[in-house]
Structure 1
């Protein structure tokens, strides 16, 4: 028979124990709220207001009407009026714009003559999900963009055919294969999950077993302990990266267009930063369970806010601001830019600078926190 008195006593004991473990209690309360907010507000499969560069060789009335119609569709926001093809290409390589619109010099003349006028739209398809909705919206552009301009005698030119056509070009991923975007992105997610959790759990395990006290009794300095602990995991991270890249090429035929120096620098910075973060978590967690909980609380936003699963520019401004603070976001830009675009150090410097800040800040906090533990 079930004794309700003894059962209640056990329940009361567990409730008291739960409230004493503040980290677990906070995770139970905060995790559903964070998931609800992220999935409810930040996730968007149909991104709009995508940054667009325009190279208008013909800057006449018809050209301006086309650009204005694209902006009115809410999918395109013109953030750069390029002066040359090279400037437009560089903006796309750096990831500053998602689209490049080129209006040729004879556009207005061809529209007036009804002579197959063309607007070229180049899309950064390194993340196909970010461009599919906007490219679909372009199908209706020729019919309505010049409706107010082609009046009177111009209304009958072209025998009722659309005044111009839109030619789209998917750059960096012409076939818009999702694996070309997802598989390189997995490199950042897998390294985050394994290195952060592995390091934090290893250090927390030493504290639980009492071996940390023996290490604290030695004259080893905090920086020496940190470097000595993390160095073997750097090798592990590099081996993981090599395996993932090899499988990406052999199994999924992910193109690798160069940019190896930028990739190597970004990979090393991200591995060191992830390990330093795991070390910092281990100084805050008292048990392996707490270390795992804190690591998971970092990994979840890294997956949702980095642009790995959902288009980064499809998120609201506040979510993009939070995503910018996530190191995985910048690492994914380096990986995709290097493999799919062949981006070198000069065009990847923005993301690499963010990773350098991440390493310096987290590494410094880990050392300071370890000193506090020593005291």
Structure 2
């Protein structure tokens, strides 16, 4: 290190400026860090500015029409004309509830038989809306959207008000909450926090640990022995796999016992989802370590992956609020599939057949990151 500028400076301010100049030159000579410092906040701003949208659209609404008359057709037409809903016809209520358990629909509209008869008797036309309450915030938006659609139904069916001037409404909706009737936010947030915590620990620790060893030269010393690169990769990942598995058990276990998060589905399925996500996150951390040379680079790269994952995975905001581009982009976010699997298993009791897409995504994530990281690790040693 060149200390001549600091020796020539005789005042505290001069020495401080000399150190600051040296640090600035150190950052400028870094091949990656200056680009990350400038581009990362711009990309984040553009990403969140376009991606974040609390006004959800295309809510998957399962429809059970047991009346099949002009009144029920009018009600369904009003829901279909509302861009906030996408209608999915169901044969009966049990099949609709099964679709909700599998995550195929987020709410159910059931119109009982006799809607036309009730209208002719100048009685309120009843229907029931079942709302997936596993996400309390999203459930509130569904109720608000359904209430707005109800007002439209009232206007459309206003002709059947009683001639006597009665104040009874022409429609009489009933709301029922599925899976989380108490609307507790912990039921939704704790499974999501488990994914975020695992991402932070597995990705960041793996990336930083290997980059640190490369900086101090211990990796090269290890490769100079008879140890093979593949053995180095496996040996490096095993301790962090143990740590990640332990953290997954701690977070999910404490969330279940302390915050009363239910476990409706099978425990072995929950364990499988956590193990696949831990493996994939470790591989991602190792992959980051192969494309970065310093710890600050690895830190910035990890942040650049984690922060978009928070908003494109459904961790805080429903994916239904994303526009088409960012909804398609969310397909490559591993945290999305982990949250779908864990929330489906713990809150709705979904099985493996219901979560095929989520488990396929987690499996591809784990295999792809581990394979790419192993190939690049051998080339960069």
User: Taking structure 2 as the reference length, what is the TM-score of the superposition?
Assistant: 0.89
Cα distance in 2 between the residues matched to 1:316 and 1:342: 29
Distance 2:94 2:32 in 1: 52
- Structure 2 CA distance for aligned equivalents of residues 75 and 110 of structure 1: 28
C-alpha displacement of 1:197: 0.5
Moved more, 137-146 or 257-266: 137-146
- The partner residue of 2:340 within 333, 337, 347 is 333
Return the offset for 1:62. 1.3
Of 16, 27, 49, the match for 1:18: 27
Residues 229 and 104 of structure 1, relative CA distance in 2, 3 Å threshold = same
Partner of 2:285: 278
Aligned to 1:40: 49
Distance 1:88 1:231, change over 3 A: same
After the TM superposition, which residues 63-142 of structure 1 pair with which residues of structure 2 at under 5 Å, given as runs?
63-78=72-87, 80-142=88-150
Q: Is the 8 A contact 1:327 1:355 kept in 2?
A: yes
1 CA distance for matches of 2:89 and 2:240?
A: 46
Does the CA-based 8 Å contact 1:55-1:83 persist in structure 2? yes
Structure 1 range deviating more: 320-329 or 219-228: 219-228
Name the SS for the 1:88 alignment partner: helix
CA distance in 2, matches of 1:14, 1:238: 39
Judge which range, 129-138 or 351-360, deviates more. 129-138
Does 2:61 match 1:52? yes
Q: Distance in 2 between matches of 1:250 and 1:347?
A: 26
SS across alignment from 1:101: strand
Displacement of 1:75: 2.3
- Structure 1: give runs of 5+ residues left out of the alignment: none
Give the match for residue 291 of structure 1: 298
Residue 353 (1) aligns with residue 350 (2): no
Asked if 2 retains the 8 angstrom alpha-carbon contact of 1:138 and 1:166, the reply is no
RMSD over aligned CA atoms reads: 2.4
Alignment CA distance shift 1:191-1:295 (3 Å): same
CA distance in 1, matches of 2:15, 2:254: 56
**Corresponding residue SS for 2:108:** strand
SS of the equivalent of 1:303 reads helix
Please state how far the C-alpha of 1:77 moved relative to its aligned partner.
1.8
The number of residues matched between the two structures is 371
Stretch deviating more after TM superposition (339-348 or 160-169)? 160-169
2:111–2:126 CA contact under 8 A, matched in 1: yes
